[in-house]
Amino acid sequence: MWSFFSREKNDFPYEIGDEVHGLESWSIWSLHRGRKKGAVADEVSIFVYDIKNGTEAKLELARASLKRLKTLRHPSILQYLDSVETDKVLYVATESVEPLGTHIEKLETDGPQKDLYLAWGIFQITRALSFLNNDGSLRHNNVSVWSVFVNTSGEWKLGGLEYVSPVDGNPAPPLKVPPQLELYDPPEKSDTAKLKSATKCSTDMWALGCLVWESFNGKLRARSNLKEIENIPKSLTPLYCELVGALPAKRPNPADIITKCRKPGGFFKNDLVDTLLFLEEIQIKDKAEKNRFFGALTPQLDNFPENVCRHKILPQLITAYEYGDAGSAVLAPMFKLGRLLDEAEYQKRIVPCVVKLFASTDRVTRSRLLQQLDMFVSHLQPNVVNDQIFPQVAHGFLDTNPTIREQTVKSVIHLAPKLNYNNLNVEVLRHFARLQARDDQGGIRTNTTVCLGKIAPHLHPQVRQRVLVSAFIRAMRDPFPPARMTKKGRIQKKTIENKLTRRDIVNRLKFSICPGIAVPVGVKIRNPKLDEARRKREEKKLQRQRELEARRAARGPLKLGAKKL
């Protein structure tokens, strides 16, 4: 249940909900879930500092953190939304997040997928520290799993800005509240001689090393635990040892870490990091690069974490199609990731794109849509199919490109259950009759007959009786041999037996089958026709035997003295 804190100012546009436990033991803030007033889905996080029960020193830290959060804007720094201060409490609204310290404990993945995800997270924090140390000339002084937060997209965001200081100030790390945060301070804090050799980034690089250790090992309980490197990936071990080195001057600059680890074989050089960085820069990529990227993306998605795919990659793909020139290459990965959405989200985010795509005049886009129809047709509502999609699909029956015509015919198999009476029993059958009788491509004529058999259960019974017999007879007279072959050109055996009357089969269809027996020996359809005739004869013989046995069983056993009929 959502609850409200009593406050004097009512202009804070967010409701404050339940507390997210864990952070309060490692920060002056408590973290709460929240959402925008009047909205259901707009979730946020609310950082709360209790002024009434706090101290003046802590209040100054909270205000300093808020000031930095407002002014520091970077993709890897926690996103500020709004804030309000009363005489009792200070509220700060940010994007919806949870502390990395609790998030890591809940990670279900292990092995290569987990390594990919942790590489992306550590890369983001390294990038944020590079921005602070090099571009902003600032030290963070508080990097740990409790100052890093994870949003719904799986992105790691740097927060905990209470102790940020200029790089030209005192290099000694400040006193922390609560005191257990000092576990992440570098060893030179108590060694004045080593402190003189500290660089602008040495303090944060030590803390980054602690973050790396905790990412792969769990909670850091003592500084001596940093010597245990068995669980750290081999590609990261040399860099980790530099980060937690005893000499501050030897610790690397975060910009150099990114450059080194992004080289082939480096820890940050993997499919997930490459994919997400490409999507961040997609607006400056040319069309050839985008096509290559999207062509290789689909098989890689199985190795990526689900929350990253659903909340990070999929929105980027939709944006790339709607506002960029990504073209039809984006369809395959977009539809694959669409399966991760629930029905409401799918209707909101994917279906409008599908409708827009079907209106495209680009043949490549239409072709790929028709090929992948089975991936999304189950999510389409009948009114959307009949009013917005089928009128666009129907243009494909008249297309001059044989591939588009054939794919349009095959698409009806998936659309038929959702089509209304007029679209299915009038429009589709009118196009099918024309294609089966007059299309210059034998393969299209053959597939039209096969597809007609598959959609037969969805046809109106009266229409079905009339159409199937005519279509079957027309197929048997087709000059294209495969159209007349039993396995491909005829309507399926099950369709004939279940959907046609015995009178139609005996009086009309047999006369279209028998002429195939007289075809010259060299033509492939002769033997199948003979086999079909023999099969029909055997079926009739077996049917007569079953009927005779059924009548005998119905009369029961003969009584003594009764005459046998």
Phi-psi region of 111 (alpha: psi -120 to 50; beta: other; left: phi over 0): left
pLDDT recorded at residue 4? 42
pLDDT recorded at residue 409? 94
pLDDT digits (tens, 9 = 90+) for 365-400: 889 899 989 889 999 999 999 999 999 999 999 999
Could you tell me the pTM of the whole model?
0.79
Q: What is the DSSP string of 246-311?
A: S-GGGSPPHHHHHHHHTSTTSTT-SHHHHHHHHHHTGGGS-HHHHHHHHHHHHHHGGGS-HHHIII
Cα–Cα distance, 148 to 198 (Å, whole number):
24
How many Cβ atoms sit within 10 Å of the Cβ of residue 65?
A: 24
Question: Which CATH code, of 1.10.3720.10, 3.40.190.10, 3.30.200.20, 1.10.1060.10, is assigned to 14-96?
Answer: 3.30.200.20
pLDDT at residue 222 greater than cutoff 50: yes
pLDDT recorded at residue 512? 56
Cβ atoms of 297 and 333 within 8 Å: the answer is: yes
Superfamily the domain 381-509 falls into: Leucine-rich Repeat Variant (1.25.10.10)
The domain locations on the chain are 14-96, 381-509
Q: Rounded mean pLDDT of 273-278?
A: 95
From the centroid of its chain, how far is CA 370? 20
pLDDT recorded at residue 467? 83
pLDDT digits (tens, 9 = 90+) for 75-123: 999 999 999 999 999 999 999 999 999 998 887 656 678 889 999 999 9
**Helix orientation angle between 429-438 and 402-415, rounded to the nearest 10 degrees:** 140
Cβ atoms of 338 and 314 within 8 Å: the answer is: yes
Q: Rounded mean pLDDT of 334-353?
A: 89
Between the alpha carbon of residue 283 and those of residues 279, 315, 316, 349, 488, the distances in Å are: 8, 14, 11, 21, 48
Q: Considering only CA atoms, give the Rg of the chain.
A: 35
